[in-house]
């Protein structure tokens, strides 16, 4: 397999993993997932912001969890890798929020 083909497969694999993580979050936790790209003032790169909403599109809509992933970083120099890392971070934030809700203290560590 050529290096170009391997690289393309890596990108496709990360994007499929990103999509799968987003779909799993939406289904498993009944949330609507959204990702935004921001350019923080004075920062050299971008910030990928993941948000999970409960009751999306209704009058009871609320932001359930959020997570940020800077791009680029030493661990994620490629956008497809950073998107996947952002989805994993958002998944962790959603799990922590659910645990806090179950404890009843509303405090996310």
Residue 95 CA from chain centroid, whole number: 12
> 73-98, pLDDT tens digit by residue?
888 889 999 999 999 999 999 999 99
Please give the pLDDT value at position 32. Answer: 97
Break the chain into its structural domains and give their ranges: 31-109
- Give the C-alpha separation, 65 to 31, whole Å: 10
- pLDDT at 52 > cutoff 90: yes
Burial (CB count within 10 angstroms: exposed 0-12, middle 13-18, buried 19+), residue 75: exposed
> 6-16, pLDDT tens digit by residue?
455 688 889 99
């Amino acid at each position: 397999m050529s290096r170009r083909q391997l690289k393309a497969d890596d990108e496709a694999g990360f994007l499929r993993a990103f999509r799968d993580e987003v779909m799993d979050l939406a289904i498993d936790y009944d949330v609507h997932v959204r990702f935004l790209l921001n350019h923080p003032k004075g920062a050299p790169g971008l910030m990928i912001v993941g948000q999970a909403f409960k009751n999306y599109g209704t009058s009871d809509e609320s932001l359930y969890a959020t997570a940020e992933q800077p791009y680029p970083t030493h661990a994620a120099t490629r956008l497809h890798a950073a998107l996947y890392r952002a989805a994993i971070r958002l998944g962790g934030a959603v799990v922590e929020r659910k645990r806090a809700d179950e404890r009843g203290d509303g405090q996310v560590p």
